[in-house]
Amino acid sequence: MIDGFLYQALVYITAAVICVPIAKRLGMGSVLGYLIAGIVIGPSVFGFIGKEGQDIMHFAEFGVVMMLFLIGLELEPAHFWKLRSRIFGLGGLQLCVTALILSAGLYYTFGFTWQAALGAGLALSKSSTAIVMQTLKEKGLHTTRAGRSAFSVLLFQDMAVIPVLALLPFLAAQPGHSSGWAQAGLLVGAVLAVVVMGRYIIAPFLRLVAAAGLRELCVAGSLLIVIATAYMMKLAGLSPALGAFVAGVVLANSEFRHELESDIEPFKGLLLGLFFIAVGASINFSLIAQQPLTILALVAAVLTVKACVLMVAGRLFKITLDQNFIFTVALSQVGEFAFVIFAFMGTLQLLPGSWIDIMMAVVALTMSTTPVFMLINERLILPRFGTRKTTEQDSNDIDVSNQVIIAGFSTFGSTVGRFLRANDIEATILDNNSEHVELLRKMGFRVFYGDATRLDILHSAGASEAKILVIAIDDQTTSCKLAATVRKHFPHLTVLSRANNNFDAYALMEHKVERVYRECLDASVRLSVDALVLLGFRRYSATRAAQKFIAYDEAAVQKLAQHRHDQKQYIHTTRQEIEMQEQLLANDRAAIHNLNDHAWESNNSDEMEKGTD
Amino acid sequence: MDKILLMLAHPRFEKSRANKALLTAVQDLPFVTVHDLYELYPDFNIDIDREHELLTQHHIIIWQYPLYMYSPPAILKQWMDLVLELGWAHGPDGNNLKGKLICNTITTGGSTESYGPKGFNNYRLEEFLRPLEQTALLCKMEWLPIFSIQGTYRHAPEHYSHYGNQYRRALQYLAEETIDLTHIRKHPSLNEWIASTEKQDKP
C-alpha cells in the first residue's frame, strides 16, 4: 500500500518537476506542462500510471474541490452584487446560447435523444475554472478586463452546475417514475444541509479551533471542512466540488474568510497540478486512434461554437478587441465539471457508455488546446490584429525621443510618470496590459505595448537614445531579466528600479542595478515618524532620525548584498528572510541613527557661543 | 487685530530649558498665536500662502529662538527667504507688513558681559542681528528692542520663572496698552523696558 503510494508520488512529482519548468521556459505556461507530464506518464506513452486512471481522476479532483471552495470564499455578497450584470448577463448569455447550439448539433448530427443532447450540451458549455484562472494568473492577465469577465462567466457556470445536476435526473426519468424527484430532492437537500451546517456548525467550530491559537490546527481545521463537505456530498452521490463551492459561499461572509483562504491556497496549487496531470493521463489515445474523425471533429466543433459565442458575447458587453481575443481563447475549452456531469449521465444511463468515453476524451482534448491557443494568440494573433506595438508617429513627432523610459505602468510606474509629467518631462512607457495602453494613449502618453524584456520593443521605444530607464514592473523576475538585457545591450542607460523587498533589491544589485528603491522603505519610515510624533516626539527631530535611518538602511542593504554568498539562483525562504532581519537588527543596535547626536549642543563651561537653550 | 504671532524656531525644543520656560509662560494668553516652525515644517517645505495669511492676521510678530553660531536657526532664514516676497512684503507694492511691530526673543548660552567689545564674543548681541533688522526695515516694519535670556547655562530653575513672568507681562502690555514706540526704543531691551514701565505704574 505504502509502496504503491510512494511509487505513484514519485512518478507524479518527478514528471511535474521535469516537465513544468521546461514548459515554462518554452513560454507555454505551467498548465500545459502538467498536461504533457500527464500524457508522458500515462498509459499512452510510458504507462507508469495506467489502469488506475479512474482512481487518479478521483484523487486529483480534490484540487478542483479546493479551488471551488476558494472561489466560493471570494463570493462576498457585496462583491457579487457589484459584478451582477456581468455574471448574469455575460455568463448567462454564454451558457444558454452555447448549450442550445451544441445540444441542437448533437441532436441532429449524432442522433442523441433530446434529453441526452441537452445534458451533453450543458456539460460542454462549461469552461474550466482551473485552467483559466491558473493560466490568466500566470500571465498576469487576471486583473484585466478580459480576466475579470472570464471570472464572472466562470462563476456563473459554477453556480449553474447546481441546477444542471438537479435537472439531469428529470431528463433521465421515465414518465411517471419518481426517481427524478428523489434525486433532485436529494441534491437540494444536500445543498441546504451544507448551508445550514456552514452557518451553525462550521463557523462555531472554527471559532473553537481559532481559540486554541495554533496555526497548524487552523490549517487542519480548514482542510477538515473541505474534506468533510466533499465526503458528505460523495456519500449522497453528488459532486464534491459542488459541495465545497457552496460551503465556500456560506463561509465567505464569516470572519474566517481570509484565514481559510491563506490556509488552503498552498494545497490548492499542488493538487490542481495533480488534476492537470490526471487530465493528461486520462486522455484515451487508443480511443482517439479508433475514432479519430468523430473525436477530432467534435473537438473542433465544440471549440468553434464556444469561441464564436464568446466572441459575440464579449462584443455585446463592449470588451475591446485585444481583451476579447484573450477572453475568447481563455474560455474556449470544456471544464472539469463536464467530467462530473458526464459521469452522472452515465450512472443515470442518459447516454451510453461508449459515448461517455468519447465525450470524456473530447473534454480532455479541449482542455489541452487552451494553453496552446493562448500561446498562439499571444505570439501571432494579438501582435497582428491587436493593439499596435507603437503609435504611428506624427510627422512633427519623429525627432522627439524621450529621455526617460518607464517599464510597467501600474500604481508605482504611473506615480513616477505623473510626477515627471508635472515637471514637464515626458516619458515613454512600456506596458503589457492593453487596457492601460489604450487609456494612456488617449491621455497623450507615448506608449509601447508588449513585453519590456524584448530587445526589439526596447529598441523601438528608443532605448538607445534615452538616458534613464525606470523599472516599475510588479514582477521581480521580469525586472531582473529586463535589467540584465539593458546592461548587455544598452549599457549607457542609467537604471532606476523598484524593488518589492530586500531580497528583490539584492537580486537587482546582482544585475548591476545601482539605484534600487524598495517600495516599502519610505512609506514605513514616514509612518514611524508619525508614530513618534503621536508619542510626543518633536516632528523635526523625528524627521532627522528618519532621514538618517533611511541612509543607514540603504548602506546596510548595499553591504549585505556584497557579502552575500555567490549563489546564482537565490531561493527566497522565510528562514533566510528572518536571518537577514536578525543581521540588520544586530547592526542597528551598534549604529547610531537615532535622536542622540550632538547637533546644537555645546560645552557648558566656556563662553563660546555655540550652544542653544 | 492687536494679536501677537509668536514664531518659535528651535531645532531641539525637547532639550530646551530657557525657551520652554518662556513659551510655557505665554502660550495660554488669548491674544498669542504660537507658530512652531520646526514642528510644522520638518522638511523646510514652508507653506507660503499660509504664512502670509497668518502675518496678515497679526499686528505684532515675535521671532523666538536660541542663538546658534551667532545667528537664528536655519529655518528662520528659510522662512525669511521664502515668505518675505518682493511685491508682498517689500518693494513698491509690497505693503502687507507695513507698520507691524517685530521683536526678537533670544536665548544665548554666553552671558551679557561676553557680548561687547571687551567680551569673548567681541560684538553686542544687537550687532549680530543687523541683517534681521535691515530686513524688517525693508519690509517697512517697526523694529523693537530684543527680549533676551543670556548665560542660560548658569541659571537656576527659579530664574527661568522670573524671566517667564517678565516675558508674559511684556507681551500683555504690548497687546493691551497703547504703545509709545519712541519710549520703548529708549530702552536697550524689552526686559528693561517692562521693568521700568512697571516701576512707574506702581505709585
HEC secondary structure over B141-167? CEECCEEEEECHHHCCHHHHHHHHHHH
User: What type of residue is B22?
Assistant: L
Query: Which residues, listed in sequence order, are joined to residue A494 by a DSSP beta bridge?
Result: A468
The count of CB pairs under 8 A between chains A and B is 75
Backbone angles phi, psi at B5, to 5 degrees: -100, 110
| B116 in A contact zone (CB under 8 Å) | no
At A608, is the pLDDT very low, low, confident or very high (cuts 50, 70, 90)? very low
- Residues A498, A505: Cα–Cα separation, whole Å: 8
- Residues B74, B63: Cα–Cα separation, whole Å: 13
Q: What angle do CA A554, A556, A559 make, to 5 degrees?
A: 110
pLDDT at A52 over 60: no
HSE-CB of A232 using CA atoms within 13 angstroms: 21
Task: Compare all CA atoms of chain B with the CA of A598 and give the residue at the minimum distance.
Answer: B12
pLDDT at A441: 76
Tell me whether residues B107 and A602 touch, CB distance under 8 A: no
Query: Per-residue pLDDT averaged across B13-38, rounded?
Result: 93
Q: Which three cell numbers stand for residue A98?
A: 452555447
pLDDT at A216 over 60: yes
CB-count burial class (<10 Å; 0-12, 13-18, 19+) for A419: exposed
Contacts of B110 in chain A (CB under 8 A): 607-609
Question: Which of A390-394, A480-484, B153-157 has the highest average model confidence (pLDDT)?
Answer: A480-484
The minimal CB distance from A607 to the residues B19, B70, B111 is found for B111
| B94 in A contact zone (CB under 8 Å) | no
HSE-CB of A272 using CA atoms within 13 angstroms: 24
- Residues A101, A110: Cα–Cα separation, whole Å: 14
Q: Which of A274, A251, A235, A208 is nearest to A60 (CA)?
A: A274
| B19 in A contact zone (CB under 8 Å) | yes
The minimal CB distance from B11 to the residues A540, A608, A613 is found for A540
- Residues A237, A231: Cα–Cα separation, whole Å: 10
Task: Compare all CA atoms of chain A with the CA of B37 and give the residue at the minimum distance.
Answer: A540
pLDDT at A347 over 80: no
C-alpha distance from residue A540 to each of A134, A533, B39 (Å)? 49, 9, 6
Q: Which residue shows C-alpha cell 524689552?
A: B190
More confident residue, A29 or A544: A544
Query: Which residues, listed in sequence order, are joined to residue B104 by a DSSP beta bridge?
Result: B63
Residues of A with CB under 8 A from a CB of B: 537-544, 599-600, 602, 604, 607-613
pLDDT at A607 over 50: no
- Residues A102, B110: Cα–Cα separation, whole Å: 97
Tell me whether residues A539 and B38 touch, CB distance under 8 A: yes
- Residues A269, A57: Cα–Cα separation, whole Å: 16
Q: Which three cell numbers stand for residue B46?
A: 514652508
pLDDT at A517 over 80: yes
Task: Compute CA A513 distance to the chain's CA centroid, rounded to the nearest angstrom.
Answer: 29
Query: What is chain A's mean pLDDT, rounded?
Result: 78
CB A20 within 8 A of CB A30: yes
Q: What is the pLDDT of residues B168-177, one digit of tens each?
A: 999 999 998 8
More confident residue, A508 or A581: A508
Contacts of A543 in chain B (CB under 8 A): 42-43
Task: Compare all CA atoms of chain A with the CA of B12 and give the residue at the minimum distance.
Answer: A541
Q: Which of B13, B60, B76 is nearest to B39 (CA)?
A: B13
Query: Per-residue pLDDT averaged across B36-62, rounded?
Result: 95
pLDDT at A595 over 60: no
Q: Which long-range contacts does A46-49 make (Cβ < 8 Å, 24+ apart)?
A: A48/A11, A48/A15, A49/A8, A49/A11, A49/A12, A49/A281
The minimal CB distance from B110 to the residues A538, A541, A609 is found for A609
For chain B positions 164-203, those within 8 Å of chain A (CB to CB) are: none
More confident residue, B54 or A226: B54
Query: Per-residue pLDDT averaged across B100-113, rounded?
Result: 93
Tell me whether residues B10 and A604 touch, CB distance under 8 A: no
Contacts of B108 in chain A (CB under 8 A): 609
Contacts of A541 in chain B (CB under 8 A): 11-12, 14
Q: Which long-range contacts does B172-180 make (Cβ < 8 Å, 24+ apart)?
A: B172/B29, B173/B197, B174/B4, B174/B60, B174/B101, B174/B103, B175/B2, B175/B3, B175/B4, B175/B29, B175/B31, B175/B32, B175/B60, B176/B2, B176/B31, B179/B101
Task: Report the percentage of chain A scoring pLDDT > 70.
Answer: 85
Least confident span in A101-115, A134-148, A466-480: A134-148
pLDDT at B5: 96
Contacts of B14 in chain A (CB under 8 A): 537-538, 541
The residue among B8, B43, B68 with the most chain A CBs within 10 A of its CB, best to mutate, is: B68
Contacts of A522 in chain B (CB under 8 A): none
CB-count burial class (<10 Å; 0-12, 13-18, 19+) for B21: buried
pLDDT at B53: 95
Give B112→chain A minimum CA distance, Å. 11
pLDDT at A612 over 90: no
Least confident span in A297-301, A339-343, A526-530, B184-188: A339-343
Q: Which residue shows C-alpha cell 448577463?
A: A89
pLDDT at A197: 82
pLDDT at A581: 67
More confident residue, A457 or B72: B72
pLDDT at A54: 54
Q: Which residue shows C-alpha cell 459542488?
A: A242
| Contacts for A424 with CB less than 8 Å, ≥ 6 apart | none
Tell me whether residues A613 and B68 touch, CB distance under 8 A: no
Give B29→chain A minimum CA distance, Å. 23
Task: Compare all CA atoms of chain B with the CA of A541 and give the residue at the minimum distance.
Answer: B12
Tell me whether residues B66 and A543 touch, CB distance under 8 A: no
**Alpha helices, DSSP H only, in A317-452?**
321-330, 336-347, 353-376, 382-385, 411-422, 434-442
At A570, is the pLDDT very low, low, confident or very high (cuts 50, 70, 90)? very low
| B16 in A contact zone (CB under 8 Å) | yes
Tell me whether residues B42 and A612 touch, CB distance under 8 A: no
Q: What is the pLDDT of residues A364-400, one digit of tens each?
A: 888 888 888 888 887 777 777 666 554 443 333 333 5
More confident residue, B157 or B65: B65
pLDDT at A173: 66
Q: Which of A526, A531, A493, A527 is nearest to A512 (CA)?
A: A493
Query: Which residues, listed in sequence order, are joined to residue B102 by a DSSP beta bridge?
Result: B61, B143
Q: Which of A115, A149, A109 is nearest to A133 (CA)?
A: A149
C-alpha distance from residue A503 to each of A259, A266, A325, A512, A557 (Å)? 26, 22, 37, 14, 10
Q: For residue A343, count other CB atoms closer than 10 A to its CB.
A: 16
Give A541→chain B minimum CA distance, Å. 7
pLDDT at A496 over 60: yes
pLDDT at B85: 93
Q: What is the pLDDT of residues A306-332, one digit of tens each?
A: 999 998 988 888 888 888 888 888 889
At A109, is the pLDDT very low, low, confident or very high (cuts 50, 70, 90)? confident
pLDDT at A568 over 50: no
Query: Per-residue pLDDT averaged across A455-480, rounded?
Result: 86
Query: Per-residue pLDDT averaged across A21-28, rounded?
Result: 73
Q: Which three cell numbers stand for residue A520?
A: 516599502
pLDDT at A414: 87
Tell me whether residues A600 and B11 touch, CB distance under 8 A: yes
At A469, is the pLDDT very low, low, confident or very high (cuts 50, 70, 90)? very high
pLDDT at A565 over 60: no
HSE-CB of A510 using CA atoms within 13 angstroms: 21
Q: Which residue shows C-alpha cell 489541452?
A: A368
Contacts of A604 in chain B (CB under 8 A): 109, 153
Decide: helix, strand or coil at residue A27.
coil
Q: Which residue shows C-alpha cell 503609435?
A: A391
More confident residue, A104 or A264: A104
Query: Considering the entire predicted model, what is its pTM?
Result: 0.55
Decide: helix, strand or coil at residue A517.
strand
Query: Per-residue pLDDT averaged across B20-31, rounded?
Result: 94
pLDDT at A48: 74
Q: Which of B187, B185, B194, B184 is nearest to B163 (CA)?
A: B194
Q: For residue A74, count other CB atoms closer than 10 A to its CB.
A: 15
Q: Which three cell numbers stand for residue A114?
A: 433530446
pLDDT at A588 over 70: no
Tell me whether residues A613 and B107 touch, CB distance under 8 A: yes
- Residues B162, B25: Cα–Cα separation, whole Å: 10
At A361, is the pLDDT very low, low, confident or very high (cuts 50, 70, 90)? confident
The residue among A539, A607, A608, A610 with the most chain B CBs within 10 A of its CB, best to mutate, is: A607
pLDDT at A133: 81
pLDDT at A150 over 60: yes
Give A518→chain B minimum CA distance, Å. 21
Q: Which residue shows C-alpha cell 428529470?
A: A170
Q: Which of A456, A97, A469 is nearest to A308 (CA)?
A: A97
Decide: helix, strand or coil at residue A83.
coil
The minimal CB distance from B110 to the residues A540, A599, A607 is found for A607
Query: Per-residue pLDDT averaged across B75-92, rounded?
Result: 95
In the 8-state DSSP scheme, what is residue B90?
B
pLDDT at B181 over 80: yes
pLDDT at A611 over 50: no
Q: Which three cell numbers stand for residue A178?
A: 419518481
Q: For residue A407, count other CB atoms closer than 10 A to its CB.
A: 31
pLDDT at A587: 67
Task: Compare all CA atoms of chain A with the CA of B70 and give the residue at the minimum distance.
Answer: A609
- Residues A225, A457: Cα–Cα separation, whole Å: 49
